[in-house]
Amino acid sequence: MSGVWRLLRSLKLRVLGPAKEYVGADPQGNKYYRVPKHETWAGQLIKERRFVEAFGIKEHQYEAGDIPTEWEAWIRKKRKDPPTFEEILKNVDYKEGIKKKIEDIYEKERLLQAKEYEEGLVAEPLQTQIKGHASAPQFGKNEPSEDPVSTANTFQPGSWMPPKDSIRNK
């Protein structure tokens, strides 16, 4: 009799697939499931499978980082038990606290830098002028210069002259 039940169970698994078990959800509304380890009708063992059903987006739109790291670790089998809702909320609060501290540090650094500029302790950053590029104001001049102003695609003979105080001339 057990052989008949085994056959019926394996046919059900083959036709319908193993039943997925709901494990939990995260604050974004994603649902997490697992398919337990099972045996096929041929006696082959299939390992446990864990997956997520995303809330509000399709599978092909899903990107890394869209789910909490605790659930990511569970899906990748880095942790045995799924995370609790309280654990996820605690980690979200911790991350927000870290972001606030980083913003405070950047603001303090910006104020300190402005104070140093005013006192003359640090020189203001200078704007560099790009020569030989289409965005430069001297681009397109026909007179030869000491600085190369053309690219390999637009090189014109005589468009560049070596510096007058060149090492070779000495």
77 CB-near residues (< 8 Å, 6+ apart): 50
Domain ranges of the chain: 18-83, 84-122
49, 34 Cβ separation under 8 angstroms? yes
* CA 170 to each of CA 8, 118, 165: distance values in angstroms, whole numbers, following the listed order: 97, 45, 8
71, 83 Cβ separation under 8 angstroms? yes
pTM above 0.75?
no
Spatial distance between the Cα atoms of 33 and 53, rounded to a whole number of angstroms: 8
Spatial distance between the Cα atoms of 144 and 89, rounded to a whole number of angstroms: 66
Token pair of 116 as six digits: 């140093």
Tens of pLDDT along the chain (170 residues)? 677 877 777 677 666 667 788 999 888 888 999 988 877 767 788 888 888 888 887 777 777 777 888 998 999 999 999 998 889 889 889 999 999 999 999 999 999 988 888 887 777 766 665 555 555 555 555 555 555 555 666 666 666 666 676 565 55
Spatial distance between the Cα atoms of 127 and 132, rounded to a whole number of angstroms: 16
